[in-house]
Structure 1
Amino acid sequence: MTTVLPLHVVANSTDATGVLRKLARGGWRTREGFALPEPAWDVSSRQLVLFGRVADLETAKLAVYAAARGAGVVAICDPRGDVGRALRDDLARIGPLGAEDGETAEEKSDSPITTEQAALLARLADGETIAAAASAEYLSLRTANRRIASARKALGVATTREAVLAYIRLRKDGEA
C-alpha cells in the first residue's frame, strides 16, 4: 500500500497546529518553511511535512515544489483567495487534499464526523471532561463545544452523551 502524502491548505494557525499534531503522532517529522535543502530529489522516504504561511505566489510555488518532491505540506492561507485557490488546484494535481496517511479521500468521507470531532468524542468516551479534552487537543473550550455541537448534528443526536455513545458504536463498527 502506498502512503498518501499529507497535503493541507488551512485558513489559520490553529487548524494547522491540529493537523501537524496529528501527523506528528503518525510518525511524520514537521519543519517550518517550504524550502528543501536536501540534495536528493525524492524526499518521500523521510516522512517530512513542511508548514508555514503562504501569502504570495512565490511561496505557493515553493510549497508545490516541495510536495512534488515528496514532502507533505500544511499551508496556512485564505483558501478562498487567489493564492489559496491556485495552491489548492496545484496541490490537488499531486494528491488528494486533506487525506491522512494510509487513507484515500473516499475513505475519509465514510464517517459522519471529522477526525477533530472524533478526537474530542474519544476523549469524552475515556471519561475526560469537555474542558480537559479541549485542553488536550489544544483547543479553546468554545471551539471544542462548537465541534461537539457539529458532531451531535452530524450524528443526529440531541445530547453530548448520545453523541459519545454514537461515536463508540461507530468506533466498534470501524467507521470512526
Structure 2
Amino acid sequence: MQSTYKYRFDRNTLYWTLVYWIVFALLGGGLFYLYEGGYLSAWFTSFIVALIALMALSIPRKIVVTDQSVQVRCLLDITEINRSEIAAVRKVSAAHMKWIVPMFGGFGFFGYYGHFIDLRRFERVRVYATEWRNFVEIVDIYEDKLYVSCSDADRLVAELTPPGGNRPVDDDEDE
C-alpha cells in the first residue's frame, strides 16, 4: 500500500521566491552596469545561476508513505526513513518552528528545505516544506528530527505513528 502527500506552495513562499528573483536580477544588472561586463559580473552571474539550479533541484515535491519506508521526494534527491526506525511522529505548530533557522539550505526560495538549526535545543534538524505551517515532526530511533509540511498533516501523523505509540520526546514537556 502506498500513500502520497503532495506539497503545495503557499502565498508567502511564492512572495519570497519573487523577492529572491528581483534581488538577484537587480544585483546582476547593477554589477553588469557598474563593471560593464567585467569578470566580477560574469562571476556573479555564474554563481547565481548555479545557486538557483541547486536550490531548484532540492524543491520538495511529495511525501510517499509505503509499508516499509517514508520518502520525501525532491526534484533530484530522495530522503528515505525506514518505518521501523520511526520513534515518534507529531504535528508541530508554526510557533514551535520560530526557533528553527537555516544553516545550509533554502529559506523561502520555492520552499524551506535543507539543514536547519534549532536554536532552543542547539541541534541540527532537516526541513522539507513548501509552506510554513502544517508541520509534522518525525523523530527516528537515532534522535534525528525531520520536519515536513503537507496540507493533510493529521492524516500523515495518524498513518506514521508507530504501532506501540510514540516514544516520549523532550519537547513534549515544553508544550
Task: State the TM-score, normalized to the length of structure 2.
Answer: 0.28
Structure ranking higher in strand proportion:
2
Structure ranking higher in helix proportion:
1
Task: State the TM-score, normalized to the length of structure 1.
Answer: 0.28
